[in-house]
Amino acid sequence: MTARPEHLPERLALLADMQAATYITEGLLTGREDVPSIALNKTTEELPVDDARFRLRRVRDLIDDVMYKVQAEERPVTAADAWLAPRLHATLRLTRREAADARLWNYLALGVAPDYVVRRHLPTTPKKDGGAPSVARARFRGVHYTQAFARLWWTAELFRNGPDYTPVVVACGNQDMLNTALRMDVVDHRPTALALVRLIEREVIRTGREANALASAVNASAATLMYDVVAQDSERDAEPLRDWIAAAEGASPVSRNALPEGPEEERAPETSVDVLTDYFEGLFADAPVRGREVVEESSAG
């Protein structure tokens, strides 16, 4: 199995797609090889700012802990994501602008924790053609909703309610919700994201298929309905995030047990989340779910 990199510099860095591609080998994807960490660190670029947030150690410590958890837990996948997403977010304390730089995620996946990416994303079953199971390339280098670390960070960013990461944990509990919703523009509206989570909490949505059906209905309905108007969010304020980032210097490592706290941003108005939760529940009741309504339909038709 791919091992922890031998060479871990003091600071995080940026790794361009072109360079990243050269390290994503068949050997790595199948977990048989390690990343040549010394060579890799020669092709990186420095981060534009030098502050405490980017001390590599802080992230690697989290990875070490989660690796341990992955081995210990019974349902490793969702539990690991639910544990790591808020903690990664609270450790890195990135702005969205910084988080939009794929080079940082490339570096995390290849330079800091290739062992984790392989452990987390290596399928347990062999390929259809009988080949050895391999990690999808996009887990190392890919868009924000597929890359191993970007997807966790963005889940935390889009599903947190101000400083409260609880909804993030819930969202991670339904991997299909994570995979489907994260790629849709509708979750850029906070009350929408929180209403989706609430339906999981209420156990209206239990399975992956249900999550997918709900997500498609919400996405389709959003083509004609402006959720932002029927369920207003509070106005964005840049200051809490700025303060939170500034406080990174003196912050102690995030708690391994209790949920960390995010920036002290205003929470989404409760009424807005309620309005959408009810509306989505109605949508879901109407939506065809694969496997759920087949019988009804065929008997009706």
Among 115, 157, 210, 265, binds other proteins (CB under 8 A): 157
Q: What is the DSSP string of 4-65?
A: PPS---SB--B--HHHHHHH--HHHHTT-----HHHHHHS-B--SS-SGGGBHHHHHHHHHH
**The one segment of 59-67, 109-117, 254-262, 282-290 that binds other proteins by CB under 8 A:** 282-290
74 belongs to the binding site for other proteins (CB under 8 A) = no
Q: How far apart are CA 72 and CA 184, in angstroms?
A: 33
The smaller minimum CB distance to other proteins, of residues 71 and 299, is found at 299
**Residues numbered 189-208 forming contacts with other proteins, rule: CB under 8 A:** 189
94 phi, psi to nearest 5 deg:
-90, 155
Q: How far is the CB of 196 from other proteins (least distance, A)?
A: 14
Q: Does 48 bind other proteins (CB under 8 A)?
A: no
Plot region of 120 (φ>0 → left; ψ -120 to 50 → alpha; else → beta): alpha
Residue 219 interacting with other proteins (CB under 8 A) = yes
- State how far the alpha carbon of 88 is from the alpha carbons of 27, 57, 182, 228, in Å: 27, 12, 17, 29
According to the binding rule CB under 8 A, does residue 143 interact with other proteins?
yes
Asked whether position 97 contacts other proteins by CB under 8 A, the answer is yes
Q: Point out which span in 60-68, 72-80, 153-161, 199-207 binds other proteins (CB under 8 A).
A: 153-161
Task: Give yes or no for residue 79 binding other proteins (CB under 8 A).
Answer: no
- The contact mask relative to other proteins for 235-274 (x = CB under 8 A, - = no) is xx-x--xx--------------------------------
**Closest-CA residue to 244 (of 74, 82, 56, 92):** 92
Closest residue by Cα to residue 14 from 48, 37, 50? 48
Contact flag: residue 10 with other proteins (CB under 8 A): no
Residue 283 in contact with other proteins, rule: CB under 8 A: yes
End-to-end CA distance of the chain: 53
Provide the binding-site residues for other proteins, judged by CB under 8 A. 16-19, 22, 42-43, 95-101, 143-144, 154, 157-158, 183-189, 213, 216-217, 219-230, 232-233, 235-236, 238, 241-242, 283, 286-288, 297, 301
